[in-house]
């Protein structure tokens, strides 16, 4: 997988997470618990921003981001503006890191052990894209249940892929 493809897909999904968070009618509904589901949209927004900022910004881009994974799952009632700022920061970190990385980064081993295993950069980037899309879907269902609004926000849109001739 090319670095430009990773950047395209991850920023596309993060922009969709942003649209989801913006689509809630108020800050409280972002944090509304749903019986039988482990996470609210707020928790998931904190988690995906932290996850991407760590694994791409800090590890690949060496931008100095310090992750607090426990806080991603324990913080509550974080204002929407702070959630959106975290998502925007994650997008910026992806653009910086992937803009300075080369395709050899993808071919070699990812620079950090994952679950005590050495994995390739390309395999781990595909995993990050899938992980992000999984949580985006959870946020989408959370929003639809909490708000009663079944409309989509055009997530995982083919229209955001570049056309070729």
Please report, for the chain, the start and end positions of each structural domain, with discontinuous segments joined by +: 3-159
What pLDDT shows up at residue 50?
98
What pLDDT shows up at residue 2?
84
Distance of CA 84 to the CA centre of its chain: 12
Continuous H helices in 59-79: 69-74
Which H/E stretch holds residue 89? helix 80-100
Annotation: CATH topology of 3-159: 1.20.120
Round to whole Å and give the CA distance between 64 and 106. 21
What pLDDT shows up at residue 106?
80
- Paired with 120 in beta bridges are 109
* Count of Cβ atoms closer than 10 Å to residue 19 Cβ: 18
10-residue block means of pLDDT along the chain (165 residues)? 90 98 98 96 98 97 96 98 98 94 83 91 95 98 97 91 89
Phi, psi angles (nearest 5°) of residue 151: -70, 145
């Amino acid at each position: 997988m090319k670095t430009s493809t990773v950047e395209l897909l991850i920023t596309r999904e993060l922009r969709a997470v942003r649209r989801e968070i913006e689509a809630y009618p108020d800050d409280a509904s972002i944090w509304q618990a749903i019986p039988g589901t482990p996470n609210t949209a707020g928790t998931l927004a904190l988690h995906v921003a932290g996850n991407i900022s760590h694994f791409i910004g800090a590890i690949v881009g060496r931008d100095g981001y310090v992750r607090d994974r426990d806080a991603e799952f324990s913080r509550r009632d974080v204002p929407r503006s702070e959630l959106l700022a975290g998502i925007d920061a994650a997008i910026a970190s992806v653009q910086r890191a992937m803009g300075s990385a080369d395709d050899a980064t993808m071919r070699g081993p990812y620079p950090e052990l994952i679950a005590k295993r050495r994995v390739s950069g390309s395999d781990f980037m595909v995993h990050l894209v899938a992980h992000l899309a999984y949580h985006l879907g959870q946020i989408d269902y959370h929003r639809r249940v909490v708000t009663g609004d079944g409309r989509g926000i055009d997530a995982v849109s083919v229209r955001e892929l570049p056309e070729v001739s």
